[in-house]
Structure 1
Amino acid sequence: MAGSKPQRRVLLLCGDYMEEYEAMVPFQALLAYGVSVDAVCPGKKAGDICRTAVHQMSGSTYSESRGHNFTLNATFAEIEFSDYDGLVMPGGRAPEYLAMDQSVVDFVSKFSHAGKPITAICHSQLILAAANIVKGRKCTAYPTVGPVLIAAGAHWVEPESLSHCITDGNLVTGVAYPGHPEFIQSFVKALGSSITGSEKRIFFYVGYDYMEDYEVYVPFESLQALGCHVDAVCPKKKSGDTCPTAIHDFEGDRTYSEKPGHDFTLTADFEGLDASSYDALVIPGGRAPEYLALDGKVIAVVKDFMEAKKPVASICHGQQILAAAGVLKGKKCTAYPAVKLDVLLAGATWLEPDPIDRCFTDGNLVTGAAWPGHPEFIFQLMALLGIKSEERMRKEMERFDHERRKEEERLMREQQREEERLLREQRRESERQE
């Protein structure tokens, strides 16, 4: 569109054993909102992976286990600082090593000197200290990073909780992944963008146990970052109880591998909750849906949402619940390929998830195949809820303009071919008359 601003581009600075939520949640949330995100790691190329770590509180510190494999989509050696509007740095153990890489330190310094938004969470503030850009700046971080920041001259802000975030000019710092909603909101604002139509109420099914780790936390915090009120509930459990999650990864086998994930803390009681007071229902995948599909109260809630034609978004194995509820008949639907039989027997038209990140909307129903599709899954739910992202609207306009230009070029080529055909006919007719 003539005169429109270009789509914002953001760089995500990755490394091995970064905390998996702290990488994937901002990565997929920003993509869902329409921001272009390039994930890079020094010494690695697009298509390479970074291993991630699951950190969760255990006594006075956190435990660590293996997370998902995070696939990079750009090459660090090829990026240009001037191409990006902001920088996101996940935490975990990766920043300890990235802070010793001079190419990383120099790159971060350029963002700071240009006044471009920088977000750092958990341990990634170590990179800020190494780049000498925290002196005199208000800054928070995971508590054990405090002494380093103080030594670097930062105005240290003691975190009130793991969700604490601080904004000082172009610098947004957070303590840990529970703070993502405010952390992401602050970054979007610093980019000069806006989101409207939020403040929706979301009913979010969790557990019993072993729902997919990403499929719970990414949409949960992405919707909160939009300003939605999200109640995560589980039958027979209460607010404050936890559900263990499962990490399902694609590692070259015919099916997915499984590793233990984070423990997810519920935010509301299931019993006594008035589902009619919510604007939408979200159903994550994993192994939990096999059991939730056997719970009559769970099924009743799903039926109520579908009968009221309120938005329902279900991903991966979550469609097992939809099938058990008998709400798929006549619907177009995708799911994880292993759930295809459930979908077909429930009377739905199967939509092939090729590639695996494809998502579809049919009326009030959004379905996706697996967590790589979160950006489109969340965006399609946003569209049903009337939540509008300035960046996504800009991206859609750019796509529309691109398609319009392609159509205009196609018509011009056809017109040119027709003119050439007419010219050839005129020449042949002239030759016959001669």
Structure 2
Amino acid sequence: MITFRVFQGLFGALLMPAALGLLRATFPAEKLNMAIGIWGMVIGASTAGGPILGGVLVQHVSWQSVFFINVPVGALALVLGLLILLDHRAENAPRSFDILGIALLSGAMFCLVWALIKAPTWGWGDGKTWAFLIASLVGFALFGFWETRVREPLIPLALFRSVPLSAGVVLMVLMAIAFMGGLFFVTFYLQNVHGMSPVDAGLHLLPLTGMMIVGSPVAGMLITKTGPRIPLAGGMALTAIAMYGMSTLETDTSGAVMSLWFALLGLGLAPVMVGATEVIVGNAPMELSGVAGGLQQAAMQIGGSLGTAVLGAVMASKVDNDLAGNWADAKLPPLTGAQLDQASEAVQVGVAPVPKGTPAAIAEQITGVAHDTFISGMSLASLVASGVAAVAILVAMLTKRGENADAAGAGAGHI
């Protein structure tokens, strides 16, 4: 399973940069933002439909069916791609893969994320935590050194001489930390605290994806007229407000209140996805537009990994600190150290650690303590995500319209 998921991620990663490169190569400058907006709208629609369809398949067929369904979809996409898509290459485009660069960057990212994930268990002062953090720093340093020596680097570091492009990359990382990290707990909140089925949980997230679908093409038009700076800053401001609102969710929060914050989050994300993509791809040289597209996707994936790890560590620390006291305050039967650790792991995903055969009254108390403790952890994680989004507002002010956007034209880009 894990091996095939690795290959799925590997081949999926090839699609997104190529898609952005095709958009850059096909559409002139005045239509590029709208094209990216429509691209974002399609991603939003698939993001909305995927969890709902997946929930139906898991609930009524089997979990394996969520993988089988991709086979005919992939086959159809392959046929349409061969018939419709045109290949565009620049004469001075890179012709080789930087294998060592890929290995160094992947290893450094793995060590960093692994350290952040395991730190709540090992302890921040533990030697293993620091070993992985130091290994990560060494890996990033070696990667930077190697990229200045190899003839065709994985990421040409000269790209970062452009302040707007660098700001766009940082903005995408911060957006993904706030969005993916904060949203990581929402599924647990809906299913384990509110007791929703996977399908119902997907339906409750429709306001988020719906606003992304509606907002992406609108954001594309707005960015074309005004430039990306104000829409990006406004989008991150809305994201910060939405994440703050999600920190106020309680065990009995109504669906209408949840929908309000989810919709506001989708409305904020739409201009960021479109605008940051335009800033990164538009400020890169034409022959490196595919590389820039890959950089945009890498920034989002790195941000998502860091967000899940960091905010997961925040959640774990908060639950570990609060659970024992909340348990004792409820006058529940005392737990051993091992039992408390097991209960903490369950509470971190919103599950009440109720043993079989527990009397109904005590089970209700345990459930209340577990859900209240989970809510406190999710609230703190959402506040941290809101702070990250607020910092991103300042970063957005460093962006500007792509310097090379006017050179965009059919057949010009490297895919």
TM-score, with length taken from structure 1:
0.21
**Rg (Cα) greater in structure:** 1
TM-score, with length taken from structure 2:
0.22
Higher relative contact order (CA 8 A, sep 6+): 2
Which is strand-richer, 1 or 2?
Answer: 1
